[in-house]
Amino acid sequence: MTYADFYQESIRQPEKFWDREAQLIDWHRPYQQVLDTSCPPFARWFVGGETNLCHNAVDRWLRTQPDQPALIAISTETNTEKTYSFAELHAEVQRMAAIMQSLGVKQGDRVLIYMPMIAEAAFAMLACARIGAVHSVVFGGFASKSLATRIDDAQPVLIVSADAGMRGGKAVPYKPLLDEAIAAADHPPQHVLLVNRGLDTMNLVSDRDVDYATLRAQYINAQVPVTWLESNAMSYVLYTSGTTGKPKGVQRDVGGYAVALAASMKHIYCGNPGETYFATSDIGWVVGHSYIVYGPLIAGMATIMYEGTPIRPDAGIWWSIVEKYKVTRMFSAPTAIRVLKKHPPELMKKYDLSSLKALYLAGEPLDETTSDWIAGELGVPIIDNYWQTETGWPILSVACGVEHKDTRLGSPGVAMYGYNVCIINESTGAECGAGEKGVVAIRGPLPPGCMQTVYGDDQRFVNTYWSNFAQEQLYSTFDWGIRDADGYYFILGRTDDVINVAGHRLGTREIEESISSHAQVSEVAVVGVEDKLKGQVAVAFAILKHPELAATLEQKLALEGEVMAVVVRQLGAVARPARVHFVTMLPKTRSGKLLRRSIQAICEGRDAGDLTTIEDPSSLVQIKAAVSA
């Protein structure tokens, strides 16, 4: 079957298509209805069927490969490595599940997980899935105020945490942040379960805090049966990054998510039982949920859980892991690859990478320079993919497990099966033709695995995602895009990153791409800054390939003029930035996303906001210095 036929079946005959894909997982009770769309835009998948995420990720592999590696926990921060077979993972998850039950956790209860990238975090997620509890993972080290708002929204009966994480050789204490968040919350948990790594002193709160190691010893022989859940029961709530005001919790189901991940591991990531998958993300983000914990395990693969940076102890660390554990599929972000590009290629070439079959990149646009470099170094396909916390798995990519399809530079790919993707003119609501810029949208119903709703607020789900076009109820991705004549999509940036300059609407991504084409620019961020005359103006912050070329004021001004001339030439005078500042680093989160709103706030003299997840605070100092110079 060609991919075109495969895709069209998924759009025209979704019940037939997904009924077949549902056979990739185990069902305790068969479903009575593949799809219920009686209350659009809500969709219910595999209605009446009973299954369990933990069973499909762990238990079912006990029959065929109990001794195969399942979870490989590596920390270059503490110099520890441990491999858990499927049988050992099964035992650990049951111990964690028994502990949770002893602390009063019942089916449907929320459990907030605030953990570093250690094995116990995966045990906790899988244990929740096993007993029917709903986990909500919050990125480790998140600020106490932000954590408190999530505690109040989820209202967990239990929080699972640790004394500290580590980053760049330094301990990041969690317990003080957690205590402060609980003190500020209106709905504090009954219990806090703490993993003591010996990295930071912990003061346990009487009658609330309990030690994981002590309880694990008590439940060392625990046997906790799987709780079978109706397909549309809630599996987890994950709060979207950058949320302001009331948190927006993405709510996911059980059966649809399991089927979507199983299908994606087969058709997009081409994973097979017994192989090894290495995603370099964090469980605090959706990639960590889908492609560190659940997806690879559902596919019967070993999954690597990594605590550390890509350059510690040196820039060869990831490639040493690929060699040692014979990684077949790897998932990372373009930012991480750009970091590695700055280091000697010998650090990569010293390892045997022959097991690696493909590298997948997502999270931000993939530029030509980065793509060409890593493709040349690895000699394997570099596959971009585009998706969101809300969708849980790729919207755009290439499904080489169905049919080989070439990638196209600058494009994350074509629409994935199940996603009826379209480009919509924001003003008229009409569908755009090839080469016409519009908003990337999806016609309902969303395929299995996508968000069910905003946790606790169905109306917010409808208002936020499904009410942006007057002519038709469509899901908005809030991204600008273009589709070419062959069906490849190109993402141009967020619709809420649009700059309105004297009535002209300009996407920051377009200006960034133009500036990036200057021979001396390696990376750039563009933000819209308030201007009394024009409404907004574009301000750019660029990293140079050779910083010494802008050592003096005269050199800076000359180079700034050159960059502006490039923009004028490519996009017109209206797109010319008001200023181009040269810096040596840009503020980013630890997952590699640019903090554009923080840059904008500094430019406008406002507070930069919650910067808990920033990789290097000194980058903001540079931005402030450049603006005030």
Long-range contacts of 394-398 (CB under 8 A, 24+ apart): 394/264, 394/268, 394/362, 395/419, 395/421, 395/442, 395/477, 396/421, 396/489, 396/491, 397/268, 397/360, 398/268
Question: How much is the pLDDT for 533?
Answer: 66
How many Å apart are CA 298 and CA 60, to the nearest integer? 9
Question: How much is the pLDDT for 381?
Answer: 95
How much is the average pLDDT of 495-501? 71
DSSP tag of 246: S
Candidates 601, 603, 600, 594; CA nearest to 628 is 603
Size of the chain in residues:
629
Q: Point out which residues pair with 59 in neighbouring strands.
A: none
- Does the structure show a pLDDT above 60 at 473? yes
More confident residue, 245 or 263: 263
Domain 502-628 grouped into CATH 3.40.190.80: no
In which residue are the tokens 């695995």 written? 449
Q: Percent of the chain scored above 70 by pLDDT? A: 96
Q: What is the per-residue pLDDT across 427-455, written as a single tens digit (0 to 9) for each? A: 899 999 999 999 999 999 999 999 999 99
More confident residue, 619 or 128: 128
Question: How much is the pLDDT for 504?
Answer: 64
Candidates 421, 415, 480, 278; CA nearest to 360 is 278
How much is the average pLDDT of 226-252? 85
Task: Name the phi and psi angles at 288, rounded to 5.
Answer: -65, -35
Q: What is the per-residue pLDDT across 3-43, written as a single tens digit (0 to 9) for each? A: 999 999 999 999 999 999 999 999 999 999 999 999 999 99
Q: Cis before residue 41, ω within 30 degrees of 0?
A: yes
Question: How much is the pLDDT for 505?
Answer: 62
How much is the average pLDDT of 582-592? 86
- Does the structure show a pLDDT above 80 at 593? no
Q: Give SS3 for 588.
A: strand
CB atoms < 10 A from the CB of 344, how many?
11
- Does the structure show a pLDDT above 70 at 245? no
How much is the average pLDDT of 377-397? 95
Question: How much is the pLDDT for 508?
Answer: 83
Which two structure tokens, joined as six digits, stand for 75? 């920390």
How many Å apart are CA 452 and CA 287, to the nearest integer? 18
Cβ within 8 Å of residue 395, ≥6 positions away: 386, 387, 388, 415, 416, 419, 421, 442, 477
CB atoms < 10 A from the CB of 502, how many?
11
Q: What is the per-residue pLDDT across 395-407, written as a single tens digit (0 to 9) for each? A: 999 999 999 999 9
How many Å apart are CA 179 and CA 396, to the nearest integer? 41
- Does the structure show a pLDDT above 90 at 144? no
How many Å apart are CA 621 and CA 196, to the nearest integer? 35
Q: Cis before residue 313, ω within 30 degrees of 0?
A: yes
Q: Point out which residues pair with 191 in neighbouring strands.
A: 158
Question: How much is the pLDDT for 242?
Answer: 38
- Does the structure show a pLDDT above 70 at 162? yes
Domain range summary for the chain, segments of one domain joined by +: 3-308+385-464, 502-628
How much is the average pLDDT of 229-252? 83
Determine contact, residues 123/51, Cβ cutoff 8 Å. no
Q: How confident is the model at residue 535 (pLDDT cuts 50, 70, 90)?
A: confident
How many Å apart are CA 405 and CA 451, to the nearest integer? 28
Q: What is the per-residue pLDDT across 341-361, written as a single tens digit (0 to 9) for each? A: 889 989 999 999 999 999 999
Which two structure tokens, joined as six digits, stand for 629? 């110079």
Question: How much is the pLDDT for 612?
Answer: 65
Question: How much is the pLDDT for 366?
Answer: 82
- Does the structure show a pLDDT above 90 at 496? no
Whole-number Cα distances in Å, 233 to 69, 150, 465: 30, 21, 21
Determine contact, residues 204/211, Cβ cutoff 8 Å. yes
**Do β-strands 535-544 and 521-531 pair in parallel, antiparallel, or remain unpaired?**
antiparallel
How many Å apart are CA 296 and CA 289, to the nearest integer? 10
Candidates 2, 29, 63, 21; CA nearest to 261 is 21
Determine contact, residues 507/480, Cβ cutoff 8 Å. yes
CB atoms < 10 A from the CB of 517, how many?
14
Q: Point out which residues pair with 538 in neighbouring strands.
A: 528
Which two structure tokens, joined as six digits, stand for 455? 């946790």
- Does the structure show a pLDDT above 90 at 476? yes
Q: Point out which residues pair with 544 in neighbouring strands.
A: 521
Determine contact, residues 254/53, Cβ cutoff 8 Å. yes
- Domain 3-308+385-464 and domain 502-628 have a common topology: no
Q: Please state the pTM of the whole predicted model.
A: 0.85
- Does the structure show a pLDDT above 80 at 498? no
Q: How confident is the model at residue 492 (pLDDT cuts 50, 70, 90)?
A: confident
Determine contact, residues 148/125, Cβ cutoff 8 Å. no
How many Å apart are CA 524 and CA 515, to the nearest integer? 7
Q: What is the per-residue pLDDT across 68-126, written as a single tens digit (0 to 9) for each? A: 999 999 999 999 999 999 999 999 999 999 999 999 999 999 999 999 999 999 999 99
What average pLDDT does the structure give for the chain?
93
Which two structure tokens, joined as six digits, stand for 207? 């009658």
Supply the CATH classification number for the domain 3-308+385-464: 3.40.50.12780
Burial of 381 (0-12, 13-18, 19+ CB in 10 A): middle
Query: Which residues in 324-376 belong to E strands, given as ranges?
Result: 327-332, 358-361
Question: How much is the pLDDT for 574?
Answer: 78
Q: What is the per-residue pLDDT across 499-516, written as a single tens digit (0 to 9) for each? A: 767 656 677 877 888 899
Question: How much is the pLDDT for 399?
Answer: 97
